[in-house]
Amino acid sequence: MPARHPAVPSSDPSAPPASPGLVARLRAAGCVFAEDEAELLLAAARTPAELAALAGRRMAGLPLEHVLGWAGFCGHRMHVGPGVFVPRRRSEFLVHEAARHTRPGAVVVDLCCGSGALGAALAACAGPVELHAADIDPAAVRCARANVAAAGGHVHEGDLFAALPEELRGRIDVLLANVPYVPTQEVGLLPPEARDHEPRVALDGGADGLDVLRRVAGAAARWLAPGGVVLSETSERQAPAALRALTGGGLHARAERCAERAATVVLGTRPADVP
């Protein structure tokens, strides 16, 4: 997995120039985008002591977004608390695809929401919508509350659909489900930033990475409105099996790929005429 590019572009005109010493120390610590990161740390720190503390945490291996407390996603700053999955730039493609299916007033659910960035970004670009987000991890739920509140959304805690209010059954127009999809054997191969600082429950998708997606696919038709759609990110390799899972759940399934972002999204639509 390539190094994540930092949250905002280096050409940010409001950013103060980074000191060559800080850049060199970040580079020596393995930060690939050291200049950009130095600018962001400098902009975040109010005093030299604060800058030293922030840079120290980064050089100790914490994800930049956890050090800053936010990640750039779809042009917005999303709050990301310690121990919460950092939304990936690749997932902007999932939001882009979801926006094509989102009409004003739609019921949108962001299941396995992590920071809540995907649902919040979708509401910002395709709203107004009725937004609900849910996650099993209390740290993610706390973080999502901060991001989703701005969109007037609601955040629920619990295991997949069991977290949702019963009144949403059969009413969901757009179901975002960026579930964990790393095969168990490959979790150890992830970069240390993910492996050591993001929770296992956010990464590990079981033997082939599709355990959680299969559970979502099996129940989605009962929660989607007629014509409603579920969207999920997978690897390109997993897409055929993911499509079979969606079809097995009674949905019309297809995949979309964005080469530029190296992103694959599978979509499952509930047929409009099936009760």
Ligand X SMILES: C[S@@+](CC[C@H](N)C(=O)[O-])C[C@H]1O[C@@H](n2cnc3c(N)ncnc32)[C@H](O)[C@@H]1O
Rounded Cα gap, residues 75 and 104, in angstroms: 20
* Sign of the alpha-carbon torsion through 77, 82, 85, 88: positive
Interface segment toward ligand X; rule CB under 6 A; list 1-9, 45-53, 132-140, 238-246: 132-140
For ligand X, the binding residues in 53-92 under the rule CB under 6 A are 85, 87, 91
Percentages (nearest 5) of helix, strand, coil residues in the chain: 40, 20, 35
Looking at the Cβ atoms of 205 and 228, the one nearer to ligand X is 205
60: Cβ–Cβ under 8 A, 6 or more apart, which residues?
none
Binding mask 204-233 for ligand X (x = CB under 6 A): --------x---------------------
The phi-psi region of residue 271 (left if phi > 0; otherwise alpha if psi is between -120 and 50; otherwise beta) is beta
* Binding mask of the shown chain, residues 164 to 203, with x at each position contacting ligand X by CB under 6 A: --------------xxx--------------------xx-
Question: How far is the C-alpha of 93 from the C-alpha of 97, rounded, in Å?
Answer: 6
Q: Can you tell me the distance from the alpha carbon of 174 to that of 104, in angstroms, rounded to the nearest whole number?
A: 12
For ligand X, which residue of 29, 136, 255, 258 counts as binding (CB under 6 A)? 136
Q: Report the nearest approach of ligand X to the CB of residue 265 (Å).
A: 12
106 or 194, CB closer to ligand X? Answer: 194
Residue ranges that bind ligand X, judged by CB under 6 A: 85, 87, 91, 112-115, 117-118, 135-137, 140, 159-160, 178-180, 201-202, 212
